[in-house]
Chains A and B, each alone.
Chain A
């Protein structure tokens, strides 16, 4: 027997050969707020998806009120009293608040009894301790208002476990207070609230117990009295020494290749300022929502900055589209191979020459297929791309090999400034080491390299300098050799500094 309402026992989840979760056990008690923290990729999302029936665990058991169950899907999980709300709420803008609350409800019968519905909606909102007109359209609601609607919707379904996934990431301070009040109201009603957040101070403020996940494994579950933010951070980042890559010596020169000053895109990031020297590797560290990719997209001309300046080799430039950025010698290796990086059904050859097609055209505009093939073939050998041949479509390759094709595409452009966005996410250790090798080679040849990475050991081993961002703001710059996981994470999570950054 246990006092748990929902219990996960030894849950593991594999995707292909990668373990997203291994042997995680968590018990949720009624009337508690249970914080779950961990770095990006620690397995939080997978855990939520298993609790809400989106994914089935590869092994392990889920118990509700001590009875083993199988959650067949979100609907099934909902009927058993488990619901989740996310950073981006799901509301139907053209329906009013009450209709949204009862959208998946069938208790009211076949015919909607409107007066009853509005009265019930009013009661639910009141239980959450907030004020919201239930007959107004959902379209004008703030994000916080939409979340309230979602929570009320869960409450209407007699929720026993409510999972909040980064609920405060886009809220203002006042709205955060309101959300925390709602979480406490739910707790008072006996609901088990799972609270997932990168904002450790919030977790400390509201949670009764905190679970730390790291690399898909359960690290600890403690009562809040036994937890400090320092300790949480240490547990979030702590790794075996063997997983660190050795640092190479810096190739940084005095020449400033890329200089950014006061760069701002409204609603994304503000006042970002840094230099990247030729031969230098600068890493942008931070958590999800730090808006690092937005900075890269702004430099690459996808979302031009609203204010601030970009200078290349000391000359101010205005970059308004990727083509122009490429002409200035900038390459951007996207984090999203599938959507932004590769034309999946097309061949390795076609993808390799995609960004540099002009090099392969005759004067009449025809493609020199033989030269194209030779270049793809040379990259296949140089980067050790494992494939039957270079005419294979990239969609059939493994993630690591796709990543190498994407690198080939940009290496062939011979950029002087190269931006990597999460270059090793989702690829195996061997491919990861090869990607790091390429980054070192580029730096050695005088290319200015900017790497966005959420993988702290990677950041610490690659970077000459580390820029830490949090929620669109630049928090500080560390010298790569002096930084530690703890102090980078402190800046990334917005903790007060124990020591000034170098």
Chain B
């Protein structure tokens, strides 16, 4: 037929703001929510705005928010990696196992990071070479990596790591700032540049929007995905090591279920689960909201389960809000279009 749906779109929605404008407004909303939470928290407790509490607030979830950064890129790319928490567990357990086997601690760290990258590449292999959906592939490796972690360490904890290793996780490295927080800040800056300013980042967005358009424009789709999943494995392994250092012990169930918290944070940041839309700025705001909300509730002795419930409600609202706006907008332009054609 000689009629293109795009003509309809353009004509029925003359005044609708562009996607970027919508995104900015979403991030604006997140910022407002964050400021409100900080204001309420500061009123609730004098302890809230102390340096110790602010660092502690990050430290409690530092591994999750590090992984949330790469997860943001993967979801914008139109994929998902469910295996991140299992990889954190596997990395921690592999480290514990090597340590127990008498492997030098300093040498174990790069080995574990290599395991992470290899695991991530394994995901990428099945996704790009076999053409399987990432949801299925990483669900399988979620089980597989976790199984391997339990085989290595079983349910007994491994402790007694060298003091310098524990200290890296527990004490300030630069002033009061611990290593993990420095890593988070560095990775955040790095990924903002990669995603929002580099050619690679542009390709991540285009593939997330429409991977056929990308392929037909000469973008090497498989390569971009392979890099992202390999990076995801590597960073998850790093996060697993940081967890081991912070807690000073590893067990087979390290980081169990963390993937859901991580994905929650990313989606709350306005990153579309269908790919192609979102930003690291939104993800950062979402991280700050979740951490400050939980911290505030903890300061007034709200239990962890209720905290989780509140974050869940927040996620539902955040997923519904843009959808409701879109369907309202569609109904509006539909009504106007019909009126116009009569």
Please give, as numbers and ranges, the residues of chain A lying within 8 Å of B1 by CB-CB distance.
15, 20, 41, 43, 45-46, 426
Cβ B210 vs Cβ A344 within 8 A: yes
For residues 220 through 274 of chain B, which have their beta carbon under 8 Å from a beta carbon of chain A? 220
Please give, as numbers and ranges, the residues of chain B lying within 8 Å of A354 by CB-CB distance.
206, 213-214, 217, 219
Q: Is B164 part of the contact surface with A, judged by Cβ < 8 Å?
A: no
Cβ B19 vs Cβ A358 within 8 A: no
Which among B10, B197, B212, B217 is the interface contact of A409 at CB below 8 angstroms? B217
Q: How far is the CA of A305 from the CA of B6 in the complex (A)?
A: 32
Cβ B10 vs Cβ A367 within 8 A: no
Interface mask (B94-113 → A, CB under 8 Å = 1, otherwise 0): 00000000000000000000
> Binding site of A, secondary structure by majority: helix, strand, loop or mixed?
mixed
Cβ B6 vs Cβ A337 within 8 A: yes
Q: How far is the CA of A426 from the CA of B7 in the complex (A)?
A: 9
Cβ A365 vs Cβ B213 within 8 A: no
Which among B199, B210, B215, B341 is the interface contact of A357 at CB below 8 angstroms? B199
Interface mask (B1-33 → A, CB under 8 Å = 1, otherwise 0): 111111111111100101110000000000000
Cβ A396 vs Cβ B3 within 8 A: no
Please give, as numbers and ranges, the residues of chain B lying within 8 Å of A14 by CB-CB distance.
341
Residue of B nearest to A18 (CB): B3
Cβ B6 vs Cβ A398 within 8 A: yes
Cβ B11 vs Cβ A391 within 8 A: no
Cβ A322 vs Cβ B216 within 8 A: yes
Q: Is A425 part of the contact surface with B, judged by Cβ < 8 Å?
A: yes
Residue of A nearest to B216 (CB): A340
> Which of A58, A302, A350, A367: most chain B Cβ within 10 A?
A367
> Which of B12, B18, B203, B214: most chain A Cβ within 10 A?
B18
Q: Is A360 part of the contact surface with B, judged by Cβ < 8 Å?
A: yes
**Given A58-B341, A337-B6, A355-B218, A346:B199 Cβ within 8 A:** no
Nearest CB on B from A351, distance (A): 9
How many residues of chain A get a CB closer than 8 Å to chain B's CBs?
54
Please give, as numbers and ranges, the residues of chain B lying within 8 Å of A45 by CB-CB distance.
1
> Binding site of B, secondary structure by majority: helix, strand, loop or mixed?
helix
Q: Is B336 part of the contact surface with A, judged by Cβ < 8 Å?
A: no
Q: How far is the CA of A301 from the CA of B1 in the complex (A)?
A: 27
Cβ B199 vs Cβ A365 within 8 A: yes
Residue of B nearest to A424 (CB): B2
Cβ A366 vs Cβ B197 within 8 A: yes
Q: Is B314 part of the contact surface with A, judged by Cβ < 8 Å?
A: no
Interface mask (A373-416 → B, CB under 8 Å = 1, otherwise 0): 00000000000000000011101111101100000010000000
Please give, as numbers and ranges, the residues of chain A lying within 8 Å of B10 by CB-CB distance.
395-399, 401
Which among A18, A326, A345 is the interface contact of B276 at CB below 8 angstroms? A345
**Given A322-B215, A396-B16, A366:B4 Cβ within 8 A:** no
Please give, as numbers and ranges, the residues of chain A lying within 8 Å of B199 by CB-CB distance.
357-358, 360-361, 365-367
Cβ A337 vs Cβ B4 within 8 A: yes
Which among B8, B20, B200 is the interface contact of A16 at CB below 8 angstroms? B8
Q: How far is the CA of A427 from the CA of B2 in the complex (A)?
A: 8
Q: Is B209 part of the contact surface with A, judged by Cβ < 8 Å?
A: yes
Cβ B197 vs Cβ A367 within 8 A: yes
Q: Is A343 part of the contact surface with B, judged by Cβ < 8 Å?
A: yes
Please give, as numbers and ranges, the residues of chain B lying within 8 Å of A322 by CB-CB distance.
215-218
Cβ A302 vs Cβ B4 within 8 A: no
Please give, as numbers and ranges, the residues of chain A lying within 8 Å of B13 by CB-CB distance.
396
> Which of B4, B193, B206, B215: most chain A Cβ within 10 A?
B4
Q: Is B205 part of the contact surface with A, judged by Cβ < 8 Å?
A: yes
Please give, as numbers and ranges, the residues of chain A lying within 8 Å of B193 by CB-CB distance.
366
Residue of B nearest to A14 (CB): B341
Which among A343, A396, A398, A402 is the interface contact of B213 at CB below 8 angstroms? A343
Q: How far is the CA of A342 from the CA of B210 in the complex (A)?
A: 8
Please give, as numbers and ranges, the residues of chain B lying within 8 Å of A393 by CB-CB distance.
18-20
Q: How far is the CA of A186 from the CA of B13 in the complex (A)?
A: 46
Interface mask (A160-197 → B, CB under 8 Å = 1, otherwise 0): 00000000000000000000000000000000000000
Q: How far is the CA of A15 from the CA of B340 in the complex (A)?
A: 12
> Which of A16, A302, A337: most chain B Cβ within 10 A?
A16
Cβ A391 vs Cβ B20 within 8 A: yes
Cβ B11 vs Cβ A350 within 8 A: no
Nearest CB on A from B18, distance (A): 5
Q: How far is the CA of A94 from the CA of B215 in the complex (A)?
A: 34
Q: Is A102 part of the contact surface with B, judged by Cβ < 8 Å?
A: no
Please give, as numbers and ranges, the residues of chain A lying within 8 Å of B146 by CB-CB distance.
none
Please give, as numbers and ranges, the residues of chain B lying within 8 Å of A273 by CB-CB distance.
none
Nearest CB on B from A292, distance (A): 17
For residues 163 through 215 of chain B, which have their beta carbon under 8 Å from a beta carbon of chain A? 193, 197-200, 202-203, 205-206, 209-210, 212-215
Cβ A323 vs Cβ B4 within 8 A: no
**27 A-B contacts, Cβ less than 8 Å apart?**
A16-B11, A18-B2, A46-B1, A302-B216, A321-B215, A337-B6, A338-B5, A341-B213, A343-B205, A343-B209, A343-B213, A347-B20, A350-B206, A354-B214, A357-B203, A365-B200, A366-B198, A367-B202, A393-B18, A395-B19, A397-B10, A399-B4, A399-B7, A399-B10, A426-B3, A426-B4, A426-B7
Closest A-B pairs by Cβ, 6 of them:
A15-B3, A426-B4, A343-B209, A323-B218, A355-B217, A399-B4
**Given A339-B212, A350-B205, A396-B16, 12 additional A-B pairs, CB 8 A:** A20-B1, A41-B2, A300-B216, A322-B216, A354-B206, A361-B198, A395-B19, A396-B13, A397-B6, A397-B10, A398-B7, A426-B4
